Amino acid sequence: MPGETAETAPAENATSQPDEPEKPAADGEATKAAEDAAPEPEAPPEKEVRTVVLSGYGGINKVKVMRRSEPKPAEGEILVRVKACGLNFLDLMVRQGNLENPPKCPAVMGYECAGVVEALGEGVTGFEVGAHVLALSNLGAWCELVAVPAKHCFQIPMRMSFEDAAAFPINFLTAYIMLFEIGNLKKGKSVLVHSAGGGVGLAVAQLCKTVENVTVFGTASPHKHDTIKDHFDHLFLSGSDYTAEIRKLSPSGVDIVLDCLCGDDTNKGIALLKPMGKYVLYGSSNIVTGETRSFFSSAKAWWQVDKVNPVKLYDENKTIGGFQLLRLLYDQDQHELIRETMATLLDMFSNDRIKPVIDSCWAFEEVGEAMQKMHDHQNIGKLILDPGMDKTHKTPAETPDTSDADEVKGQQNEETPPAEAAAKE
């Protein structure tokens, strides 16, 4: 019908019109669309460092070389590129779990190191990048790169090697504080120290020689006597009846006894004291008899110690005490005492009055062999771990086990209770 055709015509005309061409997108919109479509750039690979990790308590096989993320210095910390680390008898006790509060595993091992300042955390003053330092760490020192609180770092004389610096802090701080702060060593006194061929024993002998007319007695394994005899006035075999031999030379006994053994040697040491004498326990290595922890040895060592009777001490004018360097530093906050003592010791080193005795240096991959040497009492002086050294001793290089690496990452700055015993060797 004509009317119907007239009514529908506009609609037909509307649908038959061609679509308008789309307007091109603005330049900014096109760029944004291209960016959205492009794949995101890959993040740079995370930098890693080698470190010596305790994967669990037990034998040497629990100590592994692993990789972890590079640490960064937090506020108040110094980042140190490590050149040398010190190995102590305490590290053997940590490995065995022979402590009251052992660290949570896996944990980066080591309590002392030396190296070069690589970066400074916010708020750190008194140090510069490139300075040579030694550092104390509440575990975590056996790593190529360590972040350490600035208050636990000490700048070393340029003539001091990194090996000497790594051998220095625990041994000489322990020896000095026991002799002079606790023992009140003076002219004409006498001192008995056990494990005389170890790092602490030789530090004690050297410090005693800085005081006039001090007589130094020591006990050591027989194969060490020829090497260390010039440091001591009288040497006796470990395990021998040294008390009777000392009585022959000094019927009244000795003024200071420094004991890292414990057990029956504690009773002998107290009995050897002169009136006004001082006995200081700084370790309990008699409990370490095998590669792994022995509950029998621990019980025997403590069972052999007689109960101390304060009235008897009063009556005999004797003093007994103990010394634990890491607890003093980390739990009891005696940073100023440690800093003052270290300044004194470094000055003595600079004036050629004392010098660490180093037995040997080992690669990180040889840490098990180094530990075994210390366990067997074969070292004379300090054992050093060198992260830059190739494995040169008995066996070929091994591929480190990294199965626990993810658990280890980030643990260096985690608080760990200090170990409960001091180093024997």
Mean pLDDT of 164-174: 97
User: Which contacts of 25-29 are long-range, i.e. CB under 8 A and separated by 24 or more positions?
Assistant: none
What percent of the chain stands above pLDDT 70?
Answer: 76
CA distance 41 to 45: 12
CA distance 253 to 251: 6
- Residue 257 in this model has a pLDDT that exceeds 60: yes
Most confident stretch, 280-289, 338-347, 386-395: 338-347
- Residue 391 in this model has a pLDDT that exceeds 50: yes
Show the domains of the chain with their CATH numbers. 48-168+337-408 (3.90.180.10), 171-323 (3.40.50.720)
CA distance 88 to 92: 7
Instruction: Report whether 246 contacts 223 (CB < 8 A).
Output: no
Mean pLDDT of 223-252: 93
Instruction: Report whether 301 contacts 263 (CB < 8 A).
Output: yes
What is the pLDDT at residue 185? 97
What is the pLDDT at residue 110? 96
pLDDT digits (tens, 9 = 90+) for 351-360: 999 999 999 9
In the block, tokens 């403590």 appear at 302
- Count the helices and strands in the chain (H runs, E runs): 15, 16
Give, in order, the Cα–Cα distances in Å from 363 to each of 383, 386, 420. Answer: 11, 5, 27
H/E segment holding residue 4 = helix 2-15
What is the pLDDT at residue 300? 46
What is the pLDDT at residue 382? 96
What rounded mean pLDDT belongs to the chain?
83
What is the pLDDT at residue 305? 60
Provide the whole-model pTM: 0.80
CA distance 234 to 246: 9
- Higher-confidence position of 295 and 154: 154
What is the pLDDT at residue 394? 37
Sequence-ordered strand ranges (E) for 339-401 = 358-363, 382-386
What is the pLDDT at residue 45? 74
CA distance 41 to 316: 78
What is the pLDDT at residue 102? 84
H/E segment holding residue 33 = helix 27-37
pLDDT digits (tens, 9 = 90+) for 29-52: 555 555 566 566 666 778 899 999
Q: Position 91: which residue type?
A: D
Structure tokens at 317: 């004018």
Instruction: Report whether 425 contacts 92 (CB < 8 A).
Output: no
pLDDT digits (tens, 9 = 90+) for 325-353: 999 999 999 999 999 999 999 999 999 99
Q: Minimal CA–CA distance to 113: which of 78, 158, 64?
A: 78
What is the pLDDT at residue 285? 62
What is the pLDDT at residue 262? 80
- Residue 217 in this model has a pLDDT that exceeds 60: yes
